Amino acid sequence: MIQRIQSFWLFLAAAFNAVTLVLCFYSVPATTTMPALQVKVTDHYPSLLLTAVCVLLPLVTIFFYGNRKKQLSMSMVSVLATCGLLSTLLARTNTVMNQNPGRTGTYGVSGVMLALSAILIILAIIGIRKDEKLVKSVERLR
């Protein structure tokens, strides 16, 4: 059902993933001899596509409330896509750190948002499984 708690979790996950489009994932401050460096989702085309999938997939999944098995599988794909995006951004950060030895930077809030998004989708999966179990128990009583 659309008013179930998993719909709320999926919407929040999509919102957290959308925030990563705006925020910086990793930044290195400027020095007197070198400019500032930033790792953003919008600067890398594959990361941008993966972020679009991570934003749209939970939103589309909300409307499959009538088909819980499909909703469950789409949620699992969404978790994998979110983890894939996080690992892609970490790999890009590692590349930036290796190209600029001796310079240190800071991780932004978007990494935390991606991790929270994966956790929220897992909470939605738990809710979908509870609904499936409830429907099976009611059908067994008939």
CATH number at residue 54: 1.20.140
Tell me the pTM: 0.88
CA gap 68, 23 in Å, rounded: 33
What does the CA dihedral 117, 122, 127, 133 come to, rounded to 10 degrees? 160
Tell me, what's the pLDDT at 48?
A: 94
- pLDDT given for residue 1 in this prediction: 47
pLDDT at 121: 96
Alpha carbon separation from 133 to 2, 73, 122, 129, 138 (Å, rounded): 17, 16, 17, 6, 9
8 Å CB contact between 12 and 60: no
The mean pLDDT of 17-30, rounded to a whole number, is: 91
* Number of structural domains the chain divides into: 1
Average of pLDDT values for 61-88? 93
**What is the mean predicted confidence (pLDDT) over 8-37?**
90
pLDDT value at position 142? 60
What domain range includes position 112?
A: 5-141
Q: What is the pLDDT of residue 2?
A: 55
